[in-house]
Amino acid sequence: MHRENITLYCVLYDPFYCTVDPEQIWQLIRDIGGGATASVAGAIDFYVPVSVISLVLLMDSKLKVNWRKSYV
């Protein structure tokens, strides 16, 4: 997959490592087409539109992009 074509990034929030409140991420992405799904062990997959991916990743250094689950 070409990473420059991604329009919806999957960002993994792991409660054991991340210090940001997941509600803050949700408030930022919910009205602009973002989404979220529960994952294993309390982790959350946030689907973040390309327009705010930089803001979300700057919220916490432990947030990671899952390239396999990101959408073109």
* pLDDT score, position 1: 54
Phi, psi of 6 (to 5 degrees): -70, 135
* pLDDT score, position 54: 95
Give per-10-residue mean pLDDT for the chain (72 aa): 81 95 94 90 94 95 94 84
* pLDDT score, position 2: 65
* pLDDT score, position 3: 72
Nearest to 26 by CA among 13, 18, 17, 35: 35
* pLDDT score, position 71: 87
Domains of the chain, with CATH numbers?
3-69 (3.30.70)
In b/e form, how buried is each residue of 37-67, taking b as 16+ CB within 10 angstroms?
A: eeeeeebbbbbbbeebbeebeebbeebebee
